[in-house]
């Protein structure tokens, strides 16, 4: 049997007349990538459906007539799926399917029992550790690692073949490291919860501060999707659920208020770039979300322009909160557009009005974007009342060409007072310096 690595994650397994192509991330003309005698494939297999593993599957299937086998029905073409314990055979070549969800819901690994080899896709990487993608689950991932660790002994694994990075010649040792790394992190989070983080707002703020303090020290190493996955893992470990992954933007991507990082199309953090983390979560389906945005800077000295923009955004946020608190304390009826105007006027006076391109905030309920009054005098003149027992965000932002700055807090209003839930980023030095992460909160 011959195992040949092609482009990116693609692997060609040849055994006699069998030709099995795994994870064909191959763009352009497939014939330019593989050898002529490999065109007669018998099967195409996917360890999961992410584009950096599956982008070329349809093209190869159309060219060769080979079926595409995958755990997720959405990625199958002309063939059966890949269920746990399935065996794929072709002219004497045998691959056994091992269910390994976690990185994604549809992740599988492929065992070559005759060679003691396991193709792990993204469940185990050749370098670093795996992130939990937006459709993955940390608890499932830990169970999958336990399953693979047992398989290392039972099947006598001699080598792991990751979808990215070099092969790993010590399967048991690698899996032991992965398990220890995950459990160590979970123990840290459990300790933090025991120390007092109870509400979604408290958990969100702690995760944001920790992730930011780590990220700003990783210029040249951190990718947006990796930080995104880490943030989601920590929120889930804290007991929070979220319908969509958090937003992480570096430099120019932070300047897009609608940016969402995607694997294969994200940015590597560079020195002296702004870092934005927008994250949210709730404890159960019938509870209210906590939704916050925190800022950082991956450099030693923050440029004066960045400082000015940050302070303008912070002051606008605080002006809107103060306006709401005063109106509620006075018993005055408050409409959504008024909150936007109180916030926006601060940014306009500072000369940045044209770069504040969205409403000040949105209602928050059992959905991140609820059905109540929005803080909006830009997209619409929202005259709906801000009524007691409701929550909304205050999140002004200034979005320039090279970076954007946004600061988001949640405000809860009852009959007599309004208050910010959770910590508030107030001091730029707390998060805009490498290694810092505690700062002042109120």
- Tell how far CA 229 is from the center of its chain: 4
- The residue whose two tokens read 């492929």 is 110
Q: Which fold has domain 2-184?
A: Metallo-beta-lactamase; Chain A (3.60.15)
**Per-position DSSP letters for 152-173, written without gaps between them:** HHHTT--EEEESSS--BS-HHH
3-state per-residue secondary structure call for 290-348: EEEEEEEECCCCCCHHHHHHHHHHHHHHHHHHHHHHHHHHCCCCCEHHHHHHHHHHHHH
pLDDT at 286: 61
> pLDDT tens digits, residue range 259-295?
999 888 899 999 999 999 999 998 866 678 899 999 9
Question: Where do the structural domains in the chain lie, given as residue ranges?
Answer: 2-184, 200-431
pLDDT at 437: 36
Sequence-ordered list of residues with C-beta below 8 angstroms from that of 297, at least 6 positions apart, any chain: 216, 272, 273, 274, 275, 306, 431, 432, 433
Tens digit of each residue's pLDDT, the chain (442 residues): 677 766 667 788 877 777 788 888 765 555 555 554 555 667 888 999 888 888 888 888 888 788 888 999 988 888 678 887 788 887 777 889 999 999 889 999 999 998 899 999 999 988 777 777 767 787 888 899 999 999 999 999 999 999 888 899 999 999 999 999 878 767 766 666 666 667 889 889 989 999 999 999 999 999 999 999 889 888 887 888 887 889 999 999 999 998 999 888 899 999 999 999 999 998 866 678 899 999 999 988 899 999 999 999 999 999 999 999 999 999 999 999 999 999 999 999 999 999 999 999 999 987 777 889 999 999 999 999 999 999 999 999 999 999 999 999 999 999 889 999 988 998 654 455 443 333 333 3
Q: Rounded distance, CA 354 to CA 347, Å?
A: 9
Cα–Cα distances in Å, from 424 out to 31, 210, 294?
56, 14, 9
- The residue whose two tokens read 């944001």 is 208
pLDDT at 195: 62
pLDDT at 120: 93
Which tokens sit at 407? 């600061």
Q: Rounded distance, CA 149 to CA 171, Å?
A: 8
Q: Rounded distance, CA 208 to CA 194, Å?
A: 18
- Per the document, the length of the chain is 442
Q: Rounded distance, CA 330 to CA 46, Å?
A: 62
Task: Flag whether the pTM goes above 0.95.
Answer: no
Cα–Cα distances in Å, from 34 out to 31, 45, 59, 164, 301?
6, 16, 13, 19, 49
Phi, psi of 276 (to 5 degrees): -120, 130
Residues pairing with 421 in the sheet: 410
> pLDDT tens digits, residue range 369-399?
788 999 999 999 999 999 999 999 999 999 9
Q: Which fold has domain 200-431?
A: Creatine Amidinohydrolase (3.90.230)
Give rounded-to-5 percent helix, strand, coil for the chain: 35, 20, 45
Of the candidates 64, 88, 84, 66, the one whose C-alpha atom is nearest the C-alpha of residue 76 is 66
């Amino acid at each position: 049997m011959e195992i040949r690595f092609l482009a990116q994650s693609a692997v060609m397994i040849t055994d006699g007349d069998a030709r099995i192509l795994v994870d064909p991330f191959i763009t352009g003309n497939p014939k330019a990538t593989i050898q002529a005698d490999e065109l007669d494939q018998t099967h195409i297999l996917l360890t999961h459906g992410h584009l950096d593993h599956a982008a070329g599957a349809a093209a190869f299937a159309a060219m060769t007539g080979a079926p595409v086998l995958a755990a997720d029905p959405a990625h199958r073409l002309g063939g059966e799926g890949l269920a746990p314990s399935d065996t794929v055979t072709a002219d004497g070549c045998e691959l056994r399917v091992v269910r390994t969800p976690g990185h994604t819901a549809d992740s599988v690994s492929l065992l070559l029992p005759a060679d003691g080899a396991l193709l792990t896709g993204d469940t185990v990487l050749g370098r670093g550790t795996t992130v939990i993608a937006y459709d993955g689950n940390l608890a499932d991932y830990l169970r999958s690692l336990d399953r693979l660790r047992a398989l290392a002994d039972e099947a006598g694994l001699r080598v792991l073949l990751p979808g990215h990075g070099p092969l790993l010649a010590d399967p048991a040792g690698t899996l032991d490291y992965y398990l220890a790394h995950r459990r160590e992190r979970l123990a840290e989070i459990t300790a933090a919860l025991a120390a007092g983080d109870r509400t979604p707002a408290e958990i969100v703020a702690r995760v944001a501060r920790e992730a930011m303090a780590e990220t700003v020290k990783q210029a040249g190493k951190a990718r947006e999707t990796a930080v995104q996955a880490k943030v989601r893992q920590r929120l889930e470990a804290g007991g929070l659920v979220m319908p969509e992954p958090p937003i992480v933007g570096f430099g120019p991507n932070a300047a897009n208020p609608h940016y969402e990082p995607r694997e294969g199309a994200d940015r590597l953090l560079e020195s002296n770039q702004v870092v934005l983390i927008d994250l949210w979560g709730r404890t159960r389906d019938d509870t209210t979300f906590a939704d916050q945005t925190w800022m950082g800077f991956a450099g030693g000295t923050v440029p004066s322009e960045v400082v000015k923009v940050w302070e303008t955004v912070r002051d606008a946020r605080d002006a809107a909160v103060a306006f709401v608190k005063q109106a509620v304390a006075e018993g005055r009826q408050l409409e959504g557009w008024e909150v936007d105007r109180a916030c926006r006027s601060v940014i306009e006076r500072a000369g940045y009005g044209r770069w504040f391109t969205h409403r000040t905030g949105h209602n928050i309920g059992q959905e991140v974007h609820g059905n109540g009054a929005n803080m909006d005098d830009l997209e619409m003149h929202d005259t709906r009342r801000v009524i007691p027992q409701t929550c909304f965000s205050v999140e002004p932002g200034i979005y320039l060409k090279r970076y954007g700055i946004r600061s988001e807090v949640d405000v809860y209003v009852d009959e007599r007072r309004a208050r910010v839930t959770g910590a508030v980023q107030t001091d730029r030095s707390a998060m805009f310096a490498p290694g810092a992460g505690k700062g002042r909160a109120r």
